[in-house]
Structure 1
Amino acid sequence: MSDTIDQAATAGHPSVANVPLEARRPLRLRAHGQTDTGRKRTSNEDQFLIAVLSRALRVLQTSMEQPEVQLGAPEGYLFVVADGVGGHAAGEKASEMAVNSIGKFVVDTLKWCSHLRPTAAGDPILLEFQKALSQANDKVIDEADKHPEWHGMATTMTLGYFGHRELFVAHVGDSRCYLLRNGLLYRLTRDHTFVAEMVRRGVLKPEEAVNHAYRHVVTNVVGGDDPGVQVEMHKMALEGGDCLMLCSDGLTEMVSDEDILNILGGTPHTSEACDQLVKRANEKGGKDNVTVVVARFDE
């Protein structure tokens, strides 16, 4: 997370800077996701997920005619976007497997560490998400070994977990996570591509990367031929009025950051924002599958 984001998270709010997150009211969430095949592709290899983690009582048997379903307050919210890669429907399988693997992890593991505090080893939630993406990586590779036609299948994965007014981001690949705050759009993740790395090293200028022949070569994925996965992770506090967007590169290849800012900033309804973003990508050519998840946080 950049210094700019650190400063943005507390600037102008000295009265709440030292108040523990648990002592403040939970933020209210509105979220929506949308995916589209685009204008050039015949199948959609993208996946998205919006889920809530909460305590629940599931009645197996009772003498009551209409037992009440007992649901506890939400403990956290999960947002995921995955963009699959591979022929013979393997990309679609890879993204689906990876998203399901993350969902299972959240149910089985995350609830047990969500109340733990950071230690010298790091934040427990971030550490667990690092394990989760490693498990998803192993799952995709194992399934590819069982099915030769799926050899080399892989997927990007960008996820956000929101709980206790904090956002945790885990990221692999060239899908993206953005934050809109106080009229400014921040990109929270880096593209794990050959060209983006050359720009970061100063070998290429940003303007040279726009149409570079290798700009779509992803160097870090869940699955694929290379063992292991490098997980980029971030943590930050959220504020009322913040807007979070996760998307596949089918959006950002077609729609500029300026257009994204204008649509998110001018469209308060999450479903309408998703619809406008997908439509804009298709209007600009729709060369790839397009997936968007938009979440707004209110006091």
Structure 2
Amino acid sequence: MLLDNLALFLLIVEKGGLSAAGREKGLSPASVSERLAALEAHYGAALLKRTTRAISLTEEGRLLVDGARRLLAEADELESGIRSGTCTISGPIRLSAPEDMGRRYIVPILDRFLAEHPDVTVDLNLTDGYLDLVGQGMDFAIRHGVLADSTLRSRSLGENRRVVCAAPSYLEAKARPEHPDDLSRHDCIVMRFGANLDREWAFQVDGKPHKVMVRGRRVANDGGLVGAWCRAGRGIALKSVWDIAEDLASGALVELLKDFAVGETGLQIVYPPANVQPRRVRLLIERIASELGSIETVLTRIGDA
């Protein structure tokens, strides 16, 4: 019963309330409240702060979130091994990935993984914005850039070169930019990451950092849409080479300002700091790391071309 109550507690945290967790589990609000009270009595501490509008974790509650995930992962691993044998994996995997990269690379990997492991289920969240892995109950996420949350652990997947690019049709209508400062006279397509607009593009000019504030008529929080607009000749975009490698190879997009290196950011898998991950999660992480590693080798050749 303790493990069931721990799982319910994590669901309350994930859904942001007792009623939402109850609906997910088919339990009445009174039953959810009773089981939460039993859990708090077991540990001798309040786990949640509740108001009429929201809930938040107490210090003890935050500590229990990490411990509960670890305990449930270990219990699931044990049961799976006993019931199915060590060669079979089963159960859910929840992960997040950037929109464009997720559709282009991660979904095909997931399809192959699910075909090989019919007892595994996947819940994929595609987003270019910040996602609270612990609060949302995610096993791991694939992210670009610097790891902002120092409590998370990470595994490097290689480098992510950012490319200024445009369609040939756009360059036929507009003068090709020869210097980063020329971008101020162009229609640039801007990415939104959560509340932040990526309007400040960084370059290297004469070996020194040089930033340019860009502007444009189109802003989107979906990397796939930014790429589609760019291919349609709607403007100049700053994209990960992972997302546009095929377009560069086919000529659908042209790299601009290559002599003013935009720079690279890391590509990584990040995950909550649990001591134990279910075997199914570890296997999928290994598969993604292996397959993306092979792709990165090809992208490096494109960058050097």
TM-score range, shorter chain: under 0.3
Larger radius of gyration: 2
TM-score where L is the length of structure 2: 0.25
TM-score where L is the length of structure 1: 0.25
